[in-house]
Amino acid sequence: LNKRPVTVIGLGPMGKAMAHAFLKQGHAVTVWNRTASKADELVAAGAVLAPSVERALSVNELVVLSMTDYDAVYAVLEQAPHAVRGRVIVNLSSDTPERAREAAEWAARHGAVHLTGGVMSPPSGIGNPESSIFYSGHQAAFEAHRDTLAVLAGTDFRGTDPGLAQLYYQILMDLFWTGLISYVHAQTVADAYGIPAAEFLPYAQSTANQLPGFFSFYAPRLDAGDHTGDVDRVGMGVASLDHIVHTVRAAGVDSALPGAVLDAFRRAAAAGHENSSLTSLVEVFKKGAA
């Protein structure tokens, strides 16, 4: 009943999953993709393949974009810039917060509304309300289309700055990539010493499971700028990282990853934070904003 029709442009793994989710919930779906053959399965499932970007934009008010990045978005929208007038462009492509702000201005100049999205799910999580997508930008447009967007994943509106959804996405990906690759790195060292992933797994998981407790402990101290070294000290961190780097090198493994952390600890110590907590590394990181 009253399911809004949607246009989905960009049929990579993510856009395809999104178009399927809308179809499954009974929405009429129009699709367009640079490589038209990627729409075959969706057409078989009931979607309509638009013959042009112009047509894809003109049939529905709500237009979901899922492209590699914003360059790809412009490459598509600039094929029919007049056709974006009056549209709500929900841009679920990843890029930087600045590019999201520019895109919101681009859309406004062309008479459209831009909602930025940051998708915190792999394609397999699309259609699951436990997955989450950050939104930011035009709040009234978000409210008006919230129920339709909820078909894709849980919705989390972060604020009216169009950059915010991508900011949250990028800072979480900063955490995700360095965290996940630290696992791959540790396993490389483990392998060098004959410890297979299956054997190391429960230990890796147990350490990772302790991290949320550390986040909760340090978050209020970070907000308060309280770097008291009562439970950990930068000097201790330097010694610990030094042992890790030696162990990694002795295994013949690249030590750049823990070496970068050791370097940050050393810079904190050199800046006078030797007896402060590891939270004082924020002072070192802030200085690198050049």
Residues engaged in binding ligand NDP (CB under 6 A):
10-15, 33-35, 38, 66-69, 72, 75-76, 93-94, 119, 122-123
Burial label, 226 (beta-carbon count in 10 A; 0-12, 13-18, 19+): middle
Residue closer to ligand NDP by CB (options 68, 182) is: 68
Residue closer to ligand NDP by CB (options 73, 253) is: 73
Least distance (Å) between residue 109 CB and ligand NDP: 21
Q: Which of 10, 5, 4, 14 is nearest to 36 (CA)?
A: 10
φ, ψ (nearest 5 deg) of residue 115: -110, 125
Least distance (Å) between residue 134 CB and ligand NDP: 11
| CA–CA separation, 113 and 110 (whole Å) | 9
Q: Which residues sit opposite 157 in a β-bridge? A: 135
Residue closer to ligand NDP by CB (options 60, 280) is: 60
User: Is the CB of residue 84 less than 8 Å from the CB of residue 61?
Assistant: no
Least distance (Å) between residue 34 CB and ligand NDP: 3
- 251: tokens are 């295994």
Residue closer to ligand NDP by CB (options 33, 60) is: 33
Q: How many helices (H) and strands (E) does the chain have?
A: 11, 8
- 265: tokens are 């600890």
Least distance (Å) between residue 37 CB and ligand NDP: 9
Residue with the shortest CB distance to ligand NDP: 12
Q: Which residues sit opposite 91 in a β-bridge? A: 65, 116
Least distance (Å) between residue 123 CB and ligand NDP: 5
Residue closer to ligand NDP by CB (options 62, 165) is: 165
Least distance (Å) between residue 176 CB and ligand NDP: 10
| CA–CA separation, 6 and 31 (whole Å) | 9
| CA–CA separation, 269 and 128 (whole Å) | 46
Residue closer to ligand NDP by CB (options 4, 34) is: 34
